[in-house]
Amino acid sequence: MTSVADDSMELEAFRQRRQQELQQQLEQQAKQQAAAEVESQVQAQEQQALDQAMKTILTSEARSRLTNISLVDTNKSDLLKRQLVSLHEQQKIAIPVNDEQLKKILAGLSKSRRDASIRRI
């Protein structure tokens, strides 16, 4: 009879430990999900700020070109937006930037990436 009681106590202890483990896992997943949501909100706010800045920095034709670029390559579009904001903050560009000026800035960004060369030794 004592072995049955011991078995049920061990089983209950095991259930308690397993329940605590599951609770800890759920808490950890909730923390990770909350952190991901906060990061997502921060990125959305940054994107909105960039889009709002583009409305003041670019002409409508230039914004149209930037939209086309973002459809093809979002990374290049984001890089270009950040570059434009940086140039605007440094007062290196005249506002509003028209389509021709945007093409030159874009060519400058593309050129700097193409100039990389590999040498074999």
Structure token pair of residue 32: 């990770």
Which residues partner with 97 through β-bridges? 58
Average confidence score pLDDT of the chain: 88
Q: Give residue 21's pLDDT.
A: 96
> What residue spans of the chain are helical by DSSP H?
2-57, 60-72, 74-89, 99-114
Higher-confidence residue of 2 and 29: namely 29
2-114 fold: Helicase, Ruva Protein; domain 3 (1.10.8)
pLDDT over threshold 80, residue 120: no
Q: Give residue 54's pLDDT.
A: 92
The neighbour count for residue 44, using CB atoms within 10 Å, is 10
Q: Give residue 113's pLDDT.
A: 52
Tokens 């070109």 sit at which residue? 65
Q: In sequence order, what are the residues at sequence separation of 6 or more whose Cβ sits closer than 8 angstroms to the Cβ of residue 77?
A: 66, 69, 70
Q: pLDDT per residue over 43-79, tens digit each?
A: 999 999 988 999 999 999 999 999 999 999 999 999 9
